[in-house]
Amino acid sequence: MNHFQRRDGELFAEEVPLAALAAAHGTPLYVYSTATLTRHWKVLEGSLRGLRHLTCYAVKANSSLAVLSLLARLGAGFDIVSGGELYRVRKAGGDPRKVVFSGVGKRDDEVAFALEAGVRVLDVESAEELARVSIVARRLGKRAPVALRVNPDVDPRTHPYISTGLKGNKFGVPVEEALRLYALAARDRALRIRGVAMHIGSQVTELAPFLDAIARMRGLVDELRRQGIAVGHLDIGGGLGIPYEESEEPPHPDAYGAAVKKALRGFGGEVLLEPGRLLVGNAGVLVTRVLYRKRNGRKRFVVVDAGMNDLVRPAMYGAFHAIEPVGPPAAAEITCDVVGPICESGDFLARGRRLPEPEAGDLLCVRSAGAYGFAMSSQYNARPRAAEVLVDRDRVLLARRREAYPDLVRGESARPRPRRFGPRRGLR
Ligand code: LLP
């Protein structure tokens, strides 16, 4: 259920017509719905009632301050993968004590930033990282709260680029190695073991892979406890999929919650979750304007003003995003590719799509763009990035102004004669 619905033929975001938003803020425009996001949060939390848990929203899905701040107010913790994401969480008023720091490649400065900020736990992904975290903690006179991200070796049956819990993926450590590393960590005074973590992949549309992985993690937790290692929490990651097409029916959060609760019965610790897409995916749309229609040979194209730099998912994963007119749909339908202005044939939002025939100047709504939409956008082809607005009933927050040309060159230098590079001068 989302709050992007039609009224008298016109698409609205809550109580505001998308066309009015496009008129006020231009296109391409990301539009988020407070009611939808809040509802997704409440449905998930409701499904977990009775389970001692902390839901740590995966910031990477949508790291806009307005979204983070809304989630912070709802009581969310945060799953971060960089110092930059921690910076954003703090800017948005998030509580560092509810922050989980994941990721395979943390730099020393990021580890130090996280320790100084007092994050709840660092999810460590290799023996070498564990050693570095210990060194950085000692240098700061702190004890680093750690969990090991364990690779459960289950197949989440999703797109290969976003499956992470298989042996051949770069993520996590194998169960056997985890046992050895926990023993090491337990003897290290600069480390404090907090729990065990896993994450199997994203856009997972079945429950079985989650349950298999949780069962494997429980085996590990039991073994660790037998060895006298206290495991305070189990982080089961994120990854629950959302419906991108009407025909898709990933498990409802209620089914997920019930299954998770059952799989964790008797665990006796806190459960951490890291959902991203589930919370924000269908709470956002991308509004774009039709520039031209054209035909090449047999093929029909609708050229719009949003490109792969604005929404890369179709180009990168062959992902499907529903597209529909913002205004009343025309009666005639066409089959077309919806493409952007970027100079690459991979720059498409949809291929071979049936659409009510649009005209130049019409607005189209690209659905399910709240997760990994703006967050993955770039300035490729020197295109200023889109604006973002957050709607709350009849109120509209300009969450991020549209970039202008000067934003494209901020921080750049083209000095014809650079300064001499020397030890004291450094790189200028
Ligand atoms: N936790 C960890 C450690 C992760 O790596 C991820 C996602 C999540 C949580 C959140 O997963 P979610 O609940 O959102 O599925 N750009 C891709 C998705 C990449 C996901 C990466 N990791 C896409 O657009 O489909």
> Averaged over 424-428, what is the pLDDT?
60
**20-68 tens-digit pLDDT:** 999 999 999 999 999 999 999 999 999 999 999 999 999 999 999 999 9
Percent share of the chain, pLDDT over 90: 93
Note whether 198 and 172 are within 8 A (CB): yes
**283-320 tens-digit pLDDT:** 999 999 999 999 999 999 999 999 999 999 999 999 99
Q: Residue 23, CB half-sphere, CA atoms under 13 Å: how many?
A: 6
pLDDT over threshold 80, residue 162: no
> Which residue ranges have their beta carbon within 6 Å of ligand 1?
58, 61, 79, 102, 162, 164, 199, 202-203, 237-239, 274-278, 313, 317, 371-372
> Which of these, 224, 216, 248, lies nearest to 322 by C-alpha position?
248
pLDDT tier for residue 426 given thresholds of 50, 70 and 90: low
DSSP symbol at 163? B
Helix or strand holding residue 143 (H, E):
none
Pairing of β 348-356 and β 191-197? unpaired
Q: Cα of 296 to ligand 1 centre, how many Å?
A: 37
- Supply the mean pLDDT for the chain: 96
- pLDDT reported for residue 166: 76
Question: In CATH, which superfamily holds the domain spanning 4-31+282-408?
Answer: Lyase, Ornithine Decarboxylase; Chain A, domain 1 (2.40.37.10)
Closest atom of ligand 1 to CA, residue 239: 15
> Which of these, 121, 71, 61, lies nearest to 93 by C-alpha position?
71
Closest atom of ligand 1 to CA, residue 103: 3
As beta bridge partners, residue 388 has: 30, 400
**77-107 tens-digit pLDDT:** 999 999 999 999 999 999 999 999 999 999 9
Q: Which of 41, 60, 169, 321 to mutate to test the pocket of ligand 1 (most atoms within 8 A of CB)?
A: 60
Give the span between the Cα atoms of 284 and 263, in whole angstroms: 32
Within the chain, all domains assigned CATH 2.40.37.10 are found at: 4-31+282-408
Note whether 275 and 41 are within 8 A (CB): no
- pLDDT reported for residue 155: 87
Residue 331: what are its φ and ψ, rounded to 5°? -75, -40
> Averaged over 232-257, what is the pLDDT?
96
DSSP symbol at 173? E
Within the chain, all domains assigned CATH 3.20.20.10 are found at: 103-273
Show contacts of 247-254: CB within 8 Å, 24+ apart: 248/205, 250/204, 250/205, 250/206, 251/205, 251/206, 251/207, 253/40, 253/43, 253/44, 253/47, 253/278, 254/43, 254/46, 254/47
**386-423 tens-digit pLDDT:** 999 999 999 999 999 999 999 999 999 999 999 899 87
Q: Cα of 61 to ligand 1 centre, how many Å?
A: 7
pLDDT over threshold 70, residue 428: no
Give the span between the Cα atoms of 41 and 57, in whole angstroms: 10
Contacts of 398 (CB under 8 A, 6+ apart): 25, 387, 388, 389
Question: Would you please indicate which residues are annotated as catalytic (active-site) residues?
Answer: 343
CA-proximal residue: ligand 1, atom 16 (nearest): 372
Q: Cα of 303 to ligand 1 centre, how many Å?
A: 30
pLDDT over threshold 80, residue 425: no
Note whether 361 and 378 are within 8 A (CB): no
Closest atom of ligand 1 to CA, residue 312: 24
**117-149 tens-digit pLDDT:** 999 999 999 999 999 999 999 999 999 999 999
Contacts of 228 (CB under 8 A, 6+ apart): 186
Q: Cα of 284 to ligand 1 centre, how many Å?
A: 17
What is the architecture of the domain spanning 103-273? Alpha-Beta Barrel (3.20)
Q: Which of 244, 277, 279, 286 to mutate to test the pocket of ligand 1 (most atoms within 8 A of CB)?
A: 277
- pLDDT reported for residue 218: 97
Q: Cα of 59 to ligand 1 centre, how many Å?
A: 9
CA dist 262 → 207, 221, 266, 362 (Å): 12, 16, 9, 49
The residue assigned the tokens 């996280």 is 114
CA-proximal residue: ligand 1, atom 8 (nearest): 238
pLDDT tier for residue 350 given thresholds of 50, 70 and 90: very high
Closest atom of ligand 1 to CA, residue 313: 24
